[in-house]
């Protein structure tokens, strides 16, 4: 039974109970939750409250509802951090996932004023633009677009394929080693075309990330944007309090 003396609404109490069970390991990825009716009976709440709780957990990517089968835990989030700068490929491999990539487009364009300012380039510098769909264990998790000055890596657009790591090509072919980054994030919502690529509902909450990557000589080399599924990926950082 949930505590009716608390000021916290029943649906939040039930949500927190399920999240606590996941955190403690009592509920694991793939486990089936009780039905709305069973949850209502177990915790002496209305079925509407139980349904509302499951709907919130579904939107947050914690559970998956399967028609005719029930509601299952899908708490298989990928944790990424701000502490270590790494390529997508290496980040996924280090976490035990199998990364893969689909190139959506490769183009050339003149740098806009904003892009030139981001990378400290002369106006109208020619850029190579690579747009890719990123997967982990065959699940699409991000749409990434990279902007790199063509003068730094001529013919890059002819060398990169779905199976290549961009950062490895920059290192092996052009001697450019990216060693640090500045990252900015905000919450946004996927449009219809983005949702189809990521296999999520339209207007789903996502993380929009902008990165400026620097080489070993502290030069800005790449500006990239990523639209990342918030139901699968979570970020963390570590910091020390200055006394």
Domain ranges of the chain: 10-73, 78-236
Cα dihedral: 39, 40, 41, 46 (round 10): 180
Domain 10-73 has CATH 1.10.10.10: yes
Q: What is the pLDDT along the chain (243 residues), one digit of tens a residue?
A: 566 656 788 899 999 999 888 888 898 888 999 999 999 999 999 999 999 999 988 877 788 888 889 999 886 677 776 656 667 877 778 777 788 999 999 999 999 999 999 999 988 899 999 999 999 888 899 999 999 999 999 999 999 999 888 999 999 999 999 999 999 999 999 999 999 999 888 888 899 999 999 999 999 999 999 999 887 887 777 766 666
Q: Where are the beta strands (DSSP E) in 1-113?
A: 63-66, 70-73, 78-81, 99-110
Distinct helix (H) and strand (E) counts, the chain:
8, 10
State the Cα angle at 157 between 153 and 159, rounded to 5°: 85
Angle between the N-to-C axes of helices 10-24 and 47-59, in degrees from 0 to 180, rounded to the nearest 10: 50
CATH: 3.20.20.70, 3.40.1410.10, 3.40.50.300, 3.40.50.2300. Which one for 78-236?
3.40.1410.10
CB atoms within 10 A of CB 26: 10
pTM: 0.75
Closest CA to 228 of 210, 208, 213: 208
CA 213/CA 225 separation, integer angstroms: 11
Cα dihedral: 200, 183, 153, 157 (round 10): 10
65-99: pLDDT as tens digits: 888 899 998 866 777 766 566 678 777 787 777 88
pLDDT at 209: 93
205-237: pLDDT as tens digits: 899 999 999 999 999 999 999 999 887 887 777
pLDDT at 200: 85
pLDDT at 2: 66
pLDDT at 5: 59
């Amino acid at each position: 039974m949930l505590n009716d003396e608390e000021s916290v609404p029943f649906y939040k109490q039930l949500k927190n109970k399920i999240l606590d069970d996941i955190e403690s390991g009592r509920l694991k990825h793939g486990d089936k939750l009780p039905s709305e009716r069973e949850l209502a009976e177990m915790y002496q709440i209305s079925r509407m409250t139980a349904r509302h709780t499951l709907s919130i957990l579904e939107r947050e990517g914690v559970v998956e509802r399967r028609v005719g089968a029930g509601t299952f835990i899908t708490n298989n989030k990928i944790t990424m951090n701000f502490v270590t700068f790494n390529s997508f490929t290496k980040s996924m491999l280090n976490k035990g996932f199998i990364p893969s990539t689909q190139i959506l487009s490769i183009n050339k364009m003149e740098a806009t004023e904003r892009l030139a300012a981001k990378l400290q380039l002369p106006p109208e510098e020619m850029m190579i633009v690579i747009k890719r769909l990123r997967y982990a264990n065959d699940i699409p998790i991000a749409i990434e677009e990279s902007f790199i000055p063509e003068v730094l890596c001529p013919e890059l657009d002819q060398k990169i394929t779905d199976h290549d790591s961009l950062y490895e090509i920059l290192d092996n072919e052009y001697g450019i080693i990216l060693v640090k980054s500045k990252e900015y994030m905000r919450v946004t919502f996927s449009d219809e075309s983005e949702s189809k690529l990521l296999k999520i509902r339209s207007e789903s909450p996502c993380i929009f990330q902008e990165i400026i990557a620097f080489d070993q000589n502290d030069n800005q080399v790449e500006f990239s944007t990523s639209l990342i599924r918030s139901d699968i990926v979570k970020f963390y950082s570590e910091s020390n309090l200055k006394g």
